[in-house]
């Protein structure tokens, strides 16, 4: 590894191949070897683990993980870069390389990627699924959030992402970073920032700081949400106009299902003032609120709408 993932190695390898980092793919290579170690150590990789890596890059992280993991599925959208990585990874027979976009669209993972992960999981008794990646900034949010809706969902996600996104994931109610993404992640997972990274540890250097974050899906938290799809869609709608008052925003989020008197009934029952804003509610209050709307909708699907 001492010769891999350094600025000199990456720049010269790309130059020899007539390539350069592509902004449209969010290619910023992590060039501090110690930070790759933090990614791996934070993932606690075992021989029963199937690792998904999004953004193969030069293959350095996959090469570091291969001796530790049961299997690795690594995805690279840039075919030219994947060809270079394939040379680095030859001989590692537990690595499956895919050349495609890891996303089918912003709300769904690509089926090919999930199929490859499930096949590897089926081949290893007692296996566990983990995401370990230096994620391209432009796909970080949909990758992390969408993986919480797949079957099986990851046991752990340890990734480098933009610091601003990491702060949104761990934010507290009432602050500017608190959002639907915050609540979605904290409703289902334990989230912690492991390290903040300056631009200088990447090449090319981004204009913003980054962070290594560990996200651990929590089955106990997940079990509180009866209908994950309903919760996710209504949660996003609830924060669509975040400065609107709670009563108005909740009606907008559920207007196909509930009337204004029903919204008032729910808010009164939960002791929530209609002139609160959604960003003032903690995660538990949001879960309770949206479950109440789901139950009322199920009990009275033909409610007339005012």
Proportion of the chain in helix, strand, coil states, percent, rounded to 5: 45, 20, 35
Q: 4 pLDDT band (50/70/90 cuts)? A: low
Q: What is the pLDDT of residue 108?
A: 94
User: Measured between alpha carbons, how far is 73 from 66 in angstroms, rounded to an integer?
Assistant: 10
In this predicted model, what pLDDT tens digit does every residue of 232-279 receive, in sequence order? 999 999 998 877 999 999 999 998 899 999 999 999 999 999 999 999
Strand pairing class (128-134; 156-162)? parallel
DSSP classification of residue 200: G
In this prediction, residues 281-300 reach a mean pLDDT of 95
240 by DSSP, 3-state: which? Answer: coil
* 90-104: burial string, b at 16+ Cβ within 10 Å, e else: eeeebbbbbbebbbe
Mark residue 5 as left, alpha or beta (left: phi above 0; alpha: psi -120 to 50; beta: remaining). left
What's 247's domain CATH number? 1.10.8.100
> pLDDT for 203-241, tens place per residue?
999 999 999 999 999 999 999 999 999 999 999 999 988
Contact predicate 235/290, CB 8 Å: yes
Taking the whole predicted model, whether its pTM rises above 0.85 is answered as yes
Q: What percent of the chain clears pLDDT 70, i.e. is strictly above it?
A: 96
Answer whether residue 5 shows pLDDT above 70: no
| pLDDT beyond 60 at 2 | no
* CATH code of the domain containing 118: 3.40.50.150
Angle, CA of 50, 55 and 61, to the nearest 5°: 60
**Is residue 305 assigned to a domain?**
no
Residue-number span of the structural domain to which 288 is assigned = 228-299
Q: Could you tell me if 139 and 164 are in contact, meaning their C-beta atoms sit under 8 angstroms apart?
A: no
Q: Measured over all CA atoms, what is the biggest interatomic distance in the chain, rounded to whole angstroms?
A: 68
Over residues 140-188, the pLDDT tens digits come to 999 999 999 999 999 999 999 999 999 999 999 999 999 999 999 999 9
Same domain? 42 vs 13: yes
Check whether residue 149 and residue 107 sit in a common domain: yes
Give the pLDDT of residue 305. 43
By DSSP bridging, strand 202-203 and strand 128-134 are unpaired
Check residue 131 and give its pLDDT: 98
Question: Could you tell me if 115 and 175 lie in one domain?
Answer: yes
Distance CA 256, CA 237 (A): 12
Q: Which residues pair with 30 in a beta bridge?
A: 202
**Do 295 and 146 sit in the same domain of this protein?**
no
Are 148 and 249 in a shared domain? no
The whole-number pLDDT of residue 92 equals: 94
Rounded Cα–Cα distance for residues 74 and 117 (Å) = 10
Last residue of a domain, one of 181, 206, 222: 222
Number of domains in the chain: 2
Last residue within a domain, chosen from 200, 222, 244: 222
Locate tokens 């300056």: which residue?
198
Q: What is the pLDDT of residues 103-115, one digit of tens each?
A: 999 999 999 999 9
Confidence class for position 302, pLDDT limits 50, 70, 90: low
CA distance 139 to 54: 9
């Amino acid at each position: 590894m001492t010769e891999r993932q350094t600025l000199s190695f990456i720049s010269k390898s790309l130059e020899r191949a007539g390539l350069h980092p592509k902004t449209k793919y969010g290619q910023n290579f992590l060039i501090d070897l110690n930070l790759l170690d933090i990614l791996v150590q934070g993932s606690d990789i075992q021989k029963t683990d199937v690792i998904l890596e999004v953004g193969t890059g030069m293959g350095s992280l996959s090469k570091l993980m291969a001796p530790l993991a049961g299997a690795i599925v690594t995805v690279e959208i840039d075919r030219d870069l994947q060809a270079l990585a394939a040379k680095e990874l030859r001989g590692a027979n537990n690595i499956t390389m895919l050349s495609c976009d890891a996303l089918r669209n912003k709300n769904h993972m690509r089926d090919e990627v999930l199929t490859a992960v499930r096949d590897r999981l089926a081949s290893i008794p007692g296996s566990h699924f983990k995401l370990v990646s230096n994620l391209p900034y432009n796909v970080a949010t949909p990758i992390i959030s969408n993986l919480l809706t797949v079957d099986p969902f990851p046991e752990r996600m340890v990734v480098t992402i933009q610091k601003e996104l990491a702060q949104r994931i761990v934010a507290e109610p009432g602050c500017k970073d608190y959002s639907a993404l915050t609540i979605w992640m904290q409703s289902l997972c334990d989230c912690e920032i492991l390290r903040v990274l300056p631009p200088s540890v990447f090449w090319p250097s981004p204009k913003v700081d980054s962070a290594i974050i560990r996200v651990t899906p929590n089955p106990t938290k997940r079990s509180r949400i009866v209908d994950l799809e309903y919760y996710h869609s209504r949660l996003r709608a609830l924060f669509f106009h975040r400065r609107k008052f709670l009563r108005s925003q909740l009606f907008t989020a559920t207007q196909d299902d509930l009337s204004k008197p029903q919204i008032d009934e729910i808010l009164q029952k939960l002791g929530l003032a209609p002139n609160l804003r959604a960003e003032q509610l903690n995660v538990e209050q949001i879960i309770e609120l949206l479950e109440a709307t789901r139950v009322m909708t199920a009990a009275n699907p033909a409610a007339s709408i005012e």
